[in-house]
Amino acid sequence: MRTRILTAALAAGVLLLWSAVIEALPSKGSTVTVQVMSVKVMKAPGFLGATVATVVRGEHLTFEDAQKDWYKVTTGKGKTGWVNRSSVVDKKVALSTRPGGGTGGASQDEIALAGRGFSPEVESAYRGKHPELDFSHVDNVEKLDVDTEALAKFAADGKVGGGK
């Protein structure tokens, strides 16, 4: 009897947790906003492989589906593919070039979104205050654009990281 009660309680807990996970997903057709400097929209859900587009911070994408931590999205230019959910915020965010944003000011989410990287002005001021620092390595890393298909082939050939 006690085992049945524990099993029923466990099943109820799993169902409750599952419904919370499902509810946390954006609804089909809703807007998600890119919250990182740039992200590649992948042909399949995964960090390695073919890309269909590159999108930048503030760009709005249409949510289509989800698979684990990956969202299937459509870009404003009609390209459909997958982005990791950590690269987007699950709502439409209006970015503004004016301090404080639009008429209502910036929300906490918009402020967090804007704070995820240096703006050219902030970086320039920081460089000015720290002339002893060598930014050439940062500049070189920012210019890197890894070919994810070549990286996937490298991983597969070397059987690295579960490469297939």
pLDDT at res. 124 = 81
**pLDDT per residue of the chain (164 residues) written in tens, 0 to 9:** 666 665 655 655 555 444 444 447 888 999 999 988 889 999 999 998 899 999 998 899 999 999 999 999 999 999 999 999 999 988 777 665 555 455 455 555 555 555 555 567 777 888 888 889 888 887 888 788 888 888 888 888 888 875 55
pLDDT at res. 96 = 57
- Closest to 21 measured CA to CA, from 61, 76, 57, 69: 69
Strand pairing partners for 61?
32
pLDDT at res. 20 = 45
pLDDT at res. 79 = 96
Q: Which two tokens stand for residue 8?
A: 């029923």
Asked if 9 contacts 50 with a C-beta cutoff of 8 angstroms, the reply is no
pLDDT at res. 138 = 78
pLDDT at res. 21 = 47
Which residues lie closer than 8 Å to 39 by C-beta, 6 or more apart?
54, 55, 83, 84, 87
pLDDT at res. 8 = 56
Q: Which residue has the tokens 């459909």?
A: 80
Instruction: Please state, in angstroms and rounded to a whole number, the distance separating the CA atoms of residues 4 and 2.
Output: 5
